[in-house]
Structure 1
């Protein structure tokens, strides 16, 4: 399913865009945009789709999504049916945030936060609850106060534990490869993994590409990527498998082979361990999005950037 492109307008006087969305239910709207997006979801239960990650969510769900990673939420019920479901959305530019971190030492944590968000980050319920205390400032009419509140929230997230969501290569639309913010040696390793993940990869080959010892590569990788080389390769392979399962009808054995798993049983075991679903169940779960999108009305590109509903569909609650 091809994600729709969303155009986010900031206005001439705003560095961040804050949107207070209130509606009876959150529809499936598979989309992407070049901005970072922080979303706090309240009074809602359902499924959250971030790249190839599909998980259930509940109240105070807080997720930071990197640029151009397709995503959506789709609710199945409200916690309190007498009031609307709510999404507090903050969009901001990564280039702007990095420049701020470069010139203002107080905002140095922003750089680390953006690095950690390469695959999307889910924060704990207590972190989402803490963000709720900032809502008065985030939703006020003064752009400067909204900016200050957003920066405070982002810096607090930089110090909070977050769980990666999508696989490193979670979708085909993102073709720019490594971000360029890792050291050159790590970038060479990432490029080799991204181009040859379906082949047997020996650690010695990666070390030769980076011109470092196995011990040094392991240390650099943990430091800059937050996980081991083996774990990263597994997530790249599982990410490719997720794309094939979601976008093709290829048999699971073919998906496994083309994703770097010559043994189907091992593929099923690793897929279940990483996604908490079998490959067949994942394909079935993701197919739900096709049905939901058919009932969600026009694509996001056909609506205003503020995500207001099309007049033909039920309107958001003001």
Structure 2
């Protein structure tokens, strides 16, 4: 999304709130953009930055052609700083380096913009240090904090930001976008259930790792049905080695969630909603006989609980072992 007009199609309320501030020259000193992955958080952050630095704005719209706009997109603008987690969290030292930048004038203008990705991963010390800027804002400095989980951000930070909630994107609209851009219908159905980011969707669709992860999840679900005594061995010999980091593990759980959702949809006769087992009704019939609707609801809740544990940095192998035991009961 390169313009506010494009963003308005998917986030009309957020777009209206921010563009009204731009028209009145009242951009907030700090924003907290909260919404699911792919809802446009980073696009909004870049549009705000372009609005501040663009040399040839047309009304509220950036030109997307000047040197400043191009450097903001490429991440090379000297007065636009991005902070993202170092490992699993944003560390105190990263914020200290940011605070040093606060003391300098902008290199090319008197304005500065800081974008803090995954702001919910700020450590306690890092959160307390970022408050220094939020409590003593410079009128020429703008902080933009992005998060999928605003409840993990301390209240003192939230209270000093303009909080903007981004609504989930319509998966039907997104699926149609993917198809129009060349993705086959079956893949588009699956990807639109996993992400709202078009670039990410096409990357995953062509990724050998993703194809193998999907294959492993099919095998795992089948094994729960036909050879439950072998699941634990399969987990440690195949699944855990393939899901190497938190992003992999979260995607694995997302695929597993969709697989069990499909079994539930098949149970209740909603076959139009299938996304994981779209062309495998014979397998679905066998799985539906193995898992009751009540059991499937318990499994879906267990997978969601496992996702929360990963977010809380519980040891991943332990998370998957516990989930396996809950599904096998």
Q: State if a TM-score over 0.5 links the two structures.
A: no
TM-score, reference length from structure 2: 0.32
Whose Rg is larger?
2
TM-score (norm 1): 0.33
Q: Using CA pairs under 8 Å that are at least 6 residues apart, name the structure with larger relative contact order, 1 or 2.
A: 1
